[in-house]
Amino acid sequence: MNNLDVRTGFRSLGRGLPVLFLAIGELVLFCLFVTAVSLIGIGLGVLLVPALAVAVRAVVNNSRRNAARWSGRTVEEPYLPAPAAEPGLKGQWQRTHWVLTDPATWRDLAWMLVNPVVGVVLALSPLVLVVGGLGGMLMPAIYRPIADAGENYYLWVEISDLTSAWYAAALGLVTLLAGLAAGPALLRAHASLARTLLTPTRTAERVRRLTDSRSDAVNTSAAELRRIERDLHDGAQARLVALGMNLGVAEQLLAKDPEAVRAILADTRKASAAALTELRDLVRGIHPPVLADRGLADAVRALALDSPLDVTVNADLTGRLEAPVESAMYFAVAEALTNAAKHASPTTVSIDLWHEGGALRSQVVDDGQGGADPSRGTGLRGIERRLAAFDGLLAINSKPGGPTTLTMELPCALS
């Protein structure tokens, strides 16, 4: 047994007692909760269940935190998001319904029953073994009163004289060492028991991810609509008002001062051209014309032509994809290209597009300076969010010094 193991062995001793106390609390709450559920029939349960659920979750979350600390891996909360709070009895009923229909609630209950039995045995064993072992080792010093009382055993050794006391001491040493040695493994077993019952199931995890990405998508599109509204209001709309005013003035001046009218009309023409340019840019930001005309491959080729960088495009796509997926991938690639131009100062960029295994994939490789970090730039986060809205993924490989490879994937069918 090396030093590290001894230390973790000793550390595991201290963890048995918190598990025991938590388990007692959990057992009590289990009884209360089950009682509350049985009272739903007479109405009282509707008041009690949501309140008790809060307590249950708080206590079980303690077990989650312990399991996370001892296993070194985070344990996510699996609960479904709470419904919008409504006042009165209706709200109470909705909350009760929410608690009882969440599979995580029932898994919590299972945990509250299993932990006081199996969990406590696992977590408390190291401490029990070590304390018991110490007791055995003390036997040679304290054996006399024990032997005098007669019929006393340390494990299977009857304590009758000094020889048997030394025998017990040796046995105690072995027990103590066994407790220290088994401690970390037992604690790991406890943590993995906790993980199986307390972490979100795959479905719950997926629901949570989808809920997050959906609310992201809703927020992004709301922000986008606001931007479009503002652009139209301050841009084209304002210019059209000015156009109308100019034309009104021109009408007034027509008889008196034809020269001035000529100047006003020239201005008006310029203003209408500017309004058109603004509208064109706006439309391009909403849905690029080539994407609508030709689909993703040509749209990305057009993007490459417009980019100041040297971009090669290899597209292996036959048929059209679903429009929203096409658009998401287009803007993700566009963002990746902008990002590369802005931060990496590459000389060449290559873009690959292909469809494989029920997913649309793209890879953007630049030979710039690398070191791209999604936690710093908003660009990469933006790409991630854009893809997440369609259950897609972004993988970044960017060593300092480059090259940088962005791999993007969107599940979709090819039509």
Partner 1 sequence: MRVVLAEDLFLLRDGLVRLLESYDFEVVAAVDNGPGLLQALLDHKPDVAVVDVRLPPTFTDEGLRAALEARRQVPGLPVLVLSQYVEQLYARELLADGSGGIGYLLKDRVFDPDGFVDAVRRVASGGTAMDPDVVAKLFAKELHRDGPLSRLTPREREVLGLMAEGRSNAAIAQELVITERAVIKHTSNIFTKLDLPPSDADNRRVLAVIAYLK
> CB burial class (10 A; 0-12, 13-18, 19+) of residue 282?
middle
For the record, the structure tokens of 246 come out as 């100019």
Stretch that binds partner 1, among 101-109, 180-188, 222-230, 277-285 (CB under 8 A): 277-285
Q: First vs last Cα of the chain: how many Å apart?
A: 62
Residue 239 is a binding residue for partner 1 (CB under 8 A): no
Residue 397 is a binding residue for partner 1 (CB under 8 A): no
CA atoms within 13 A on the CB side of 8: 14
Residue 342 is a binding residue for partner 1 (CB under 8 A): no
Stretch that binds partner 1, among 3-11, 191-199, 272-280, 351-359 (CB under 8 A): 272-280
Say how many C-beta atoms besides its own lie within 10 A of residue 43's C-beta: 11
Q: Between 218 and 273, whose beta carbon lies closer to partner 1? A: 273
Stretch that binds partner 1, among 211-219, 220-228, 308-316, 398-406 (CB under 8 A): 308-316
Q: Between 123 and 264, whose beta carbon lies closer to partner 1? A: 264
Q: Between 369 and 407, whose beta carbon lies closer to partner 1? A: 369
Q: Which of 306, 323, 324, 376 binds partner 1 (CB under 8 A)?
A: 306
Q: Which of 272, 350, 369, 407 binds partner 1 (CB under 8 A)?
A: 272
Q: Between 100 and 334, whose beta carbon lies closer to partner 1? A: 334
Residue 14 is a binding residue for partner 1 (CB under 8 A): no
Residue 244 is a binding residue for partner 1 (CB under 8 A): no
Q: Name every residue whose Cβ is closer than 8 Å to that of residue 192 and which is 6 or more positions away in sequence.
A: 71
Residue 284 is a binding residue for partner 1 (CB under 8 A): yes
DSSP per position, 268-305: HHHHHHHHHHHHHHHHHHHS-HHHHHH-HHHHHHHHHH
Size of the site for partner 1 (CB under 8 A): 22
Compute the distance between CA of residue 234 and CA of residue 242 in angstroms, rounded to an integer. Answer: 12
For the record, the structure tokens of 255 come out as 């008889």
Q: Which of 65, 209, 227, 280 binds partner 1 (CB under 8 A)?
A: 280
Q: Cβ(92)–Cβ(54) under 8 Å?
A: no
Q: Which of 292, 395, 413, 414 binds partner 1 (CB under 8 A)?
A: 292
Residue 309 is a binding residue for partner 1 (CB under 8 A): yes
| 310-316 and 157-158 strand pairing | unpaired
C-alpha 273, offset from chain centre: 47
At its nearest, how many Å lie between partner 1 and the CB of residue 340? 13
Compute the distance between CA of residue 415 and CA of residue 104 in angstroms, rounded to an integer. Answer: 39
Residue 294 is a binding residue for partner 1 (CB under 8 A): yes
Q: Which of 148, 310, 316, 373 binds partner 1 (CB under 8 A)?
A: 310
Sheet holding 404-411, edge to edge: 310-316, 348-356, 359-366, 404-411, 393-398
Q: Which of 293, 354, 373, 397 binds partner 1 (CB under 8 A)?
A: 293
Residue 277 is a binding residue for partner 1 (CB under 8 A): yes
Q: Cβ(286)–Cβ(331) under 8 Å?
A: no
At its nearest, how many Å lie between partner 1 and the CB of residue 301? 6
Q: Which spans of this chain sit near partner 1 (rule: CB under 8 A)?
A: 269, 272-273, 276-277, 280, 283-284, 289-290, 292-294, 298, 301-302, 305-310
